[in-house]
Structure 1
Amino acid sequence: MRKTFKLEDLDCANCAAKMEHSIKKIDGVNDATVSFMTQKLALDADDARFDAILDEVVRVCKKIEPDMVVVH
């Protein structure tokens, strides 16, 4: 399943790159793109566990950029 999410308060291009790298390591993630310019996250992950994977993605992002919000 592939979905796109809006990112609010993503303040740093380097942080976006770190998030993308970390998200791609999560089990069940096929591909992920974090765009600082468009403030969006494109996530392609296992359909059966998509919600659990998304929760893990949000946790990873909060560690890197605590003030950022993933709108879903």
Structure 2
Amino acid sequence: MRKIIKLEGLCCANCASKIETEVSKLAGVKSAALSFMTQRLTIEVEDDRADAIVEESRKIAYKIEPEAEFKVLR
């Protein structure tokens, strides 16, 4: 299952890279890519873990970039 999340307000590419790295380490994540330019995080996840992974991703994003707004687009 693919999830696309908008992270409005990322301050730098380094923060985007850190978020992408940490999200990709989560159990059930097949792939993760965060574009600083579009501020979109695209993750491929196991279907049964989708909601939990989105919530864990939110926590990671707010820990690294507390000013960013986290919106699940689909």
Q: What's 1:69 paired with?
A: 69
- Please, what is the CA RMSD of the aligned residues? 0.8
Name the aligned partner's letter for residue 18 of structure 2: K
Q: What's 1:2 paired with?
A: 2
CA distance in 2, matches of 1:66, 1:33: 19
Q: Give the TM-score normalised by the residue count of structure 2.
A: 0.92
Q: Give the TM-score normalised by the residue count of structure 1.
A: 0.94
Q: What's 1:23 paired with?
A: 23
CA distance in 1, matches of 2:19, 2:66: 12
Runs of 4+ in 1 over 2 A off after TM superposition: none
Q: What's 2:38 paired with?
A: 38
Name the aligned partner's letter for residue 5 of structure 1: I
Give me the identity figure in percent.
Answer: 47
Is there any run of 5+ residues in structure 2 with no aligned partner, and where? Answer: none
SS in 1 for 2:11: coil
Q: What's 1:51 paired with?
A: 51
Is there any run of 5+ residues in structure 1 with no aligned partner, and where? Answer: none
